[in-house]
Structure formats: structure tokens, C-alpha cells
Amino acid sequence: MGSFLASLGEAVGLILTGDRDLLEIIGLSLRVTLTAVAAACVIGLPIGAVVGALRFPGRSLAGVILNSLMGLPPVVVGLMVYMALSAGGPLGPLGLLYTPTAMIIAQTILVTPIVAALTKQIVEDLHADYAEQFASLEVGPFDRVVALLWDARFSLMTVALAGFGRAVAEVGAVIMVGGNINHVTRVMTTTIALETSKGNLEVALALGVVLLTIALIVNGAVMTFRATAARVTYA
């Protein structure tokens, strides 16, 4: 316990003193995660809203698929992206393997189903409230989806947070397509995995606490923003 606290103190000290390596790792973690979550929201929110709000053949199947994809194994995604980006893969000429972009792609694939499935549920519930009024006003499919996404925006912030939680804690896929290269693709989770494999459990634990703290700060910031925005909007 003593060595853990000492390692934790050491990690906090590194942050406070502005250790370049650690800050670089934290910065890359946030860049990769936030970019992936943003991309997943751009893709997943409309998909979830369409499946949740509109009636079309195969809608139930689409819902089942979205829910199933929430449990997509990261190593499978990592392998797929690896094969696609490797020299012999269809996207090989882009030279993206072992770059942060590859990690963003893998995380986006992992997070998008989560965003889409949770959005579908929220939009579906809201649509149940609105359905007759929308039908009476003859609201078209596009306006319907846009209106539901807008009216559910504060609930959807929680969806984005769920996606962030998944992405920031992910290690399997990013280590496969990123390679955990020092100063290039090393992020918090891959560093933790590396330190654990080296037997530096205290350092790994301390980094884990730092990761949790970052997640806590991001969650707190979003929830505070959500509460403030809702209060201002509904004042």
C-alpha cells in the first residue's frame, strides 16, 4: 500500500511538475478519445434517432443489431482495423497503421454502436410522447429526427459520456492498431498495460488512478454544463 501511495504521489508529482512524457501521454489519450467520441456522435446520433423515431422495414432487426454491437469485442475491432490498414489491406496505401488516426478509427468503431443504441432508446421514449402530435402536424421524417435529437439533447450528453467511458478505458484495439509506440501512439491505457507487463504494478495503479481522475473531471464538466444549459434553457 505504501509503495502504491508513493507511486501515486510520484505520478501526481509528475503531472504537477509538468513532466513532458506523462503530459504527452495524457494529451494523446484525450485527443484520441475525444475525437473518436465526437466522430461516433456524428455517426451514431442520427442512426439511433432514425431507428428510434421512424418506422421502416427491418427496423426491429436494426435495433437488435445496434444492441448487439454494443458488446463488440475490442480485440476483434482491433484485428479488423489492423487488417484493413496493414500493407496488404484495402487501406494500406494510406499508411495509417501505428498512428493516432488508426487508434481513432478503432475507437470510433467501438463507440458508435453504443452511441447509436442508447440514442435509439432515448429517442424512442421521447417519440412515444410526441408521436400523435407529430402525426397531427404531419411532421416529415427529417424534421421528426432533427426535432427529437434537439429535444433530447441534454439526455444525449449522457450518451456521449457513456461513449467517452468506453473509449477512454479501451486498450485492446488501440494497442493492436497503435502499437504503443513511445512518443507516437502511447496512451494511458497502453502505458498501464506496458507497466503491468513489466511488473511495475504500483506505477500502473497510479496511472490508473490518474486515468480515473481524468474521466471524473470530464464527466463532472459535462454534467455541470448539462445542468447549467438546461437551467438556462428552461428558466
Partner 1 sequence: MLETEFNVRSPAPAWREETQRAASPEVLLETRALCFDAGGRRLIDRIDIDIRAGRRTMIMGANGTGKSLLLRLLHGLISPTRGEVLWRGRPLDRRGRHAQAMVFQRPVMLRRSVIANLRFALAVRGFAGSERTARETEALQRAQLEGLAVRQARVLSAGEQQRLAVARALSCAPRILFLDEPTASLDPGSTHAVEQLIREAHADGVTIVLATHDVGQARRIGDDLVFLHAGRVVETGRVSDVLDAPRSEAARAWLEGRLYLDSSS
- Site residues (vs partner 1, CB under 8 A): 126, 129-130, 132-133, 135-140, 143, 147, 151-152, 233-235
Grid cell digits, residue 115: 452511441
Our CB check for partner 1 shows the closer of 60 and 233 to be 233
Grid cell digits, residue 136: 397531427
- In angstroms, what is the minimal distance from the CB of 8 to partner 1? 43
- In angstroms, what is the minimal distance from the CB of 62 to partner 1? 25
CA-wise closest residue to 175 among 20, 29, 4, 36? 29
- In angstroms, what is the minimal distance from the CB of 52 to partner 1? 15
Our CB check for partner 1 shows the closer of 10 and 129 to be 129
Our CB check for partner 1 shows the closer of 9 and 225 to be 225
- In angstroms, what is the minimal distance from the CB of 228 to partner 1? 15
Half-sphere exposure of 122 toward its Cβ, with a 13 Å CA cutoff? 27
Alpha helices in the chain (DSSP H): 2-16, 20-53, 59-69, 74-85, 100-137, 141-151, 153-168, 172-178, 188-197, 201-233
Our CB check for partner 1 shows the closer of 139 and 192 to be 139
* Angle formed by the axes of helices 20-53 and 59-69, nearest 10°: 160
Our CB check for partner 1 shows the closer of 35 and 155 to be 155
What is the end-to-end Cα distance of the chain in Å, rounded?
49
- In angstroms, what is the minimal distance from the CB of 120 to partner 1? 18
